[in-house]
Amino acid sequence: MTEKWNITLRIYRQKTGELPHFDDFAMEVDPNEYVLDAIERVWAFHDRSLCFRHACHHSTCGACGMRINGVEKLTCITVIRDVTHNGATLKVEPLRNFPVVSDLAVDMGVFYRKMEMVGARAVLPVTEAEIEHPPATWQPEDARYIRLSDCLECGLCISACPVAATTIEYLGPAPLAAAQDVGLRRSPELLTIIDSEDGLWRCHSAFECTAVCPSFVDPGRRIMNLRKQAIGLKLTKLFGKPGVPQP
């Protein structure tokens, strides 16, 4: 008989024109389930007015990012056992630094537009996706395989970033990481977008983004590498042959 836990889901609620508050839902859950399953059951059986974003349920779409007990998580791949224990309360809040549409659903508009502005690659050759230990069997012609990028545009890094908390103008970890993935060698004109007050030089190396990224992007490292690329390109523009960016 599968083990059952009784937990309380304390869910943030906000409707236009009403004061935000928390609702508690006592739930019987299977600890091996995912947090999103429990949230969906709240909607299905307890409260149809619960608004939340979800689509793929297996970390490819990036819709279900929320803060679970204050920590940014993709709720579709977060196992209940890993974030709470039997009889405890699980606090579910929307992501920070995004306008709340209602309850747990946030408006990703500005964030997606910034990703579009830097020309984030939605698909890329398999061999270009930075993987710790690429399979030894990769041959050059494997570059013809195309795959969806690692970044799910889930917004967890934007929610965790202390600088993104100060202004909506800040480009943010994911767009900067995407700009690094595109690279200044491939599109030097990106420099004008990222080399600005609200771009590359606002990052304060807190590495909160890398800590919460559920999808192997490691935005912290990419931002730092982008700084090297940017300084390299600017110095070559100043001293070396104009327009030949450093790797």
Partner 1 sequence: MPKSHVIIIGAGFTGVAIAHDLALRGCDITVIERGDICNGTSGRTHGLLHSGGRYAVKDKESAIECIQENTILRRIVPQVIEPNGGLFIALNESDLSYAEQFIESCQECGIPLDELTPQHALQLEPNINPKLLSAFVVPDGTFDPLRLALAFAATAKHNGARFRTFTEVEGLQIDGQGNVIGVNILDRTSNQRMGIRADVVVNATGAWAGQITSMASLDAPVTPTPGIMVAYDQRLVQRAVNRLNVPGDGDIVLPQRRMVVVGTTSFDAENVDYIPVVEEQTKLMLERGSELIPGIRNAKPRGIYMATRPLISGGSGRSIARTFKCYDHKQTHNIDGLVTITGGKATTLRLMAEKTADVVCAKLGISAPCITQDMPLLSYREYYAIPN
Partner 2 sequence: MTTPSSFKPVSGPRPGETAWLWLIKIITGPLLLVVLALHLIVNHYLGSTSSGLMTYDDVIAYFQNPLIPAIEILFVVVVVTHSLIGLRGILLDMNPSRRVLSIITWLLALLGATSIAYGVWLALVIASKGP
Partner 3 sequence: MNNQPSSKKFLAWFNPLGRQPGSWAFILSRITALGLTFYLFLHLVVLGRLAQGPQAYQEFLALAESPIVKLGELAVIAAVIYHGLNGIRIILTSFGIGVAHQQRLFYASVALALAGTVFFGIRLFGG
Binding test (CB under 8 A) with partner 1, winner from 41, 81, 221, 227? 41
DSSP 125: E
Q: Which residue has the tokens 């070559």?
A: 236
Q: Which is nearer to partner 2, 20 or 99 (CB)?
A: 99
Q: 28 is in the binding site of which of partner 1, partner 3, partner 2, none (Cβ under 5 to 8 A by kind)?
A: none
Candidate ranges 45-53, 81-89, 190-198, 205-213; the one touching partner 3 (CB under 8 A): 205-213
Output 184-188 pairs: Cβ under 8 A, ≥24 positions apart.
Answer: 184/226, 184/229, 184/230, 184/233, 184/245, 185/229, 185/245, 185/247, 187/119, 188/233, 188/243, 188/245
Q: Which residue has the tokens 């491939």?
A: 186
Q: Least CB distance from residue 34 to partner 2, whole Å?
A: 31
Q: 154 is in the binding site of which of partner 1, partner 2, partner 3, none (Cβ under 5 to 8 A by kind)?
A: none
Q: Which is nearer to partner 2, 73 or 202 (CB)?
A: 202
Candidate ranges 49-57, 77-85, 148-156, 202-210; the one touching partner 3 (CB under 8 A): 202-210
Q: Is 94 in the site for partner 3 (CB under 8 A)?
A: yes
Q: Is 122 in the site for partner 1 (CB under 8 A)?
A: yes
Give residue 92's region: left, alpha or beta (phi > 0; psi -120 to 50): beta
Q: Is 247 in the site for partner 3 (CB under 8 A)?
A: no
Q: Are 221 and 173 within 8 A, CB to CB?
A: no
Radius of gyration of the chain (CA): 20
Q: Is 9 in the site for partner 1 (CB under 8 A)?
A: no
Q: Which is nearer to partner 2, 231 or 244 (CB)?
A: 231
Q: Is 104 in the site for partner 3 (CB under 8 A)?
A: no
HSE toward the beta carbon, residue 111, CA cutoff 13 A: 24
Q: Is 20 in the site for partner 3 (CB under 8 A)?
A: yes
Candidate ranges 103-111, 155-163, 194-202, 223-231; the one touching partner 1 (CB under 8 A): 103-111
Candidates 88, 80, 75; CA nearest to 7 is: 88
Question: Cα(196)–Cα(175) distance, rounded to whole angstroms?
Answer: 13
Q: Which is nearer to partner 2, 27 or 108 (CB)?
A: 108
Tell me whether residue 195 is exposed, middle or buried, using C-beta atoms within 10 angstroms of its C-beta: 0 to 12, 13 to 18, 19 or more. middle
Q: Is 121 in the site for partner 2 (CB under 8 A)?
A: yes
Instruction: Spell out a b/e string for 96-125, using b for 16 or more CB atoms within 10 Å of the CB, else e.
Output: bbbebbbbbbbebeebeebbeebbbbeeee
Residue ranges binding partner 1 (CB under 8 A): 2, 15-17, 33-34, 37, 40-41, 43-45, 48-49, 51-63, 76-77, 101-102, 105, 107-113, 115-116, 122-123, 126, 129, 131, 135, 137, 142, 145-150, 152-153, 215-216
